[in-house]
Each structure stands twice: as structure tokens, then as C-alpha cells.
Amino acid sequence: MKRFLKYLLLVVFVFSVMLNVFLIFRLEKELNRTSTTAALRNELYERETSPFQYLSIENGAVLKASNVKVRNGNLFHEAEYETVYDVKFKIASTATVTTFKDVEVSFMFYRGNTLLKTENETLQGDFHPYSERNFSIRVNPPSGYDSWNMMVKDAGSRSKVDFK
């Protein structure tokens, strides 16, 4: 009987040591995973420095001309109208952890292959990861243009997304 109790105590002791070793390895693995996640997040943040790669103007940008009344008509003259051009477009962010701020967009107007005019507009606000925002901007194209294009020129300061 004494021998049986000795073996039982030995088995319990070995089992508790194995359990402690298992728990220590599991805790160490969990700590490494947490630091690895933070390291991966910081590495992604450092890679996402270029707004050209992560901010894009979605297909479907439309330049629309419309007539706006500038002056009402009266007995001595007719009403005056002015043609204005509005561009409607959507900017999408494909960044994973970076928020871009104050994006600058360039509008280029061409006649054939010749650049006639470039206009720059700054779009205020935050562009969060995996988000889209719609815009409508009034532009002044030169007379005689036959094609136009637009692109993201730059983005201001950026900040990290906090994962909590």
C-alpha cells in the first residue's frame, strides 16, 4: 500500500510538472503573438507612406456642365447665365492601418496631347482605411479642351489607426 501511494504521488508530481511546463510555453507563445501583432501593425504603417498606392479615384468621375443664372433680367437687359463645370467623383482608400488627411487632387485639361491647364484642389478631412468618400468640385476648364484627367497628387499628415 505504501508503495502504491509513493507511485501515485510520483505520478501526480510528474503530471503537475508537465502541466506547468505546458502552461509556461503557452503563455510565452501568447506573449510572442501579441508583440508580433504590434510589430506587424507598425511595419504596415511604415509601408503605407505613399498616398499614390493607397488612395485612388474610382471609375466614373463625371464632368458636367450646367448654366447658372448670374444676373436677373429686367426692363433694360436680359438675364445673364454662366456655364459652370462640376466634377463628381469618389476617392477610395485601400490602406490597412493608415489614415490620410487633406488629399490634394489635380485636374488636367488637354487638347489632343497638349496640356492646357492644371488645377489643384485640396480635399479636407480624414481618409480612413478601407473607406470611400464622394465629392463634387467646381472647376474652370479652359476653352477648347477636348479631354481631361484627374489624379491624387499628394496627401497631408497621416496617423495610425488604434486597435483596441
Beta bridge partners of 65: 85
Question: Per-residue pLDDT tens for 43-59?
Answer: 777 777 788 888 888 87
Cell of 128: 480612413
Q: Using one digit for the tens of pLDDT, what is the confidence trace for 75-134?
A: 888 888 888 889 999 999 888 888 888 899 999 999 999 999 999 999 988 888 889 999
pLDDT in tens, 3-34: 777 777 788 788 887 877 777 777 777 666 65
CA separation (Å) from 47 to 26, 40, 73, 98?
31, 11, 59, 10
